[in-house]
Copies of this chain bind each other. A is one copy, B any other.
C-alpha cells in the first residue's frame, strides 16, 4: 500500500491552466419552486419568449454568470435566480440541490449542463412573487394540471424528481414547516401534509404528533387564536430557525 506523501502543499503548486481540449459546457440552474395555494400544491413556471421552446412553459432559472472572474457559486446562482424571478429575499428561503441534468442533446443551442434546485415558498408570500422580478409572465400552476402543458427541455423530469423528493422528505425532515406561515395552527400544518401526500390524515392522530414536537421543544405556542368557523385553533411558531439550505 503506497504511502501518502504529497510533494508540496496544494496551494503553492503550479496551476497549469486547464487544457482547452476538454469539453466545456454552459451551466444553468433551474428551480422547481413549490408553494401551497388554495389547498393545492403549485409550482412556479415562466413562459419562454426566446428560442428555443418559444411559448412553452419552463422552470425559472438561467445561466451561471462569469462576473469577470471564475464565475459564481452554484448555490449562489440559484439564490440569485430565485430572487430575480420571484422578487423575494434570497435568504431565509428553503433551497436544496436536486440533481444535475446533462444529456448532450437536452438544449438545441449546444452543450448545456443544468443543475436543478428545489425551493419552497411560504404560502403567505406566494401571491406576491409573480408580480416582481424580471421574469415576465411567471405564474403558479397546480401540479395536477401539468400533464396538459408541454414543458421546455427536460423540465418535466426535473419536476417529477422534485415532487418525489418533496414527498419523501415530508416525513423524514421538517420540510413541512417551510410551507406554512411563520405562525400556524395544527390543522394548517396538517393541510400541508394532506396536500402533498394526496390523502387526508386523521385530525386527532396528527395532533398527537404535533404535541410530540412541542414537548421536543421544536414548536412553542404563540399568542392569539385562529377563527375558522368551529372551535378556534391555538397558534404556534418554531423555536429554532426552520431548516436552511446547504
- Residues on A lying within 8 angstroms of B by beta carbon are 1-2, 4-8, 10-11, 13-18, 21-27, 47, 51-57, 63-66, 69-74, 97, 99-105, 107-113, 115, 137, 139, 148-150, 152
Contacts and interface: CB of A to CB of B under 8 A. Distances in A.
A33 to B, nearest CB: 17
B23 A65 contact: yes
A2 B25 CA distance: 33
A13 B100 contact: no
Q: How many copies does the complex hold?
A: 2
A47 B7 CA distance: 12
B4 A55 contact: yes
A105 B73 CA distance: 9
A65 B21 CA distance: 9
Contact of A23 (B13, B26, B150): B26
A7 B108 contact: no
B97 A100 contact: yes
Given A25-B25, A73-B103, A97-B99, A55 B16 contact: no
Nearest to A50: B16
B15 A26 contact: no
Contact of A110 (B17, B56, B73): B17
Contact of A6 (B17, B56, B74): B56
Contacts of A7: 54-55
Given A2-B139, A23-B65, A139-B2, A105 B70 contact: yes
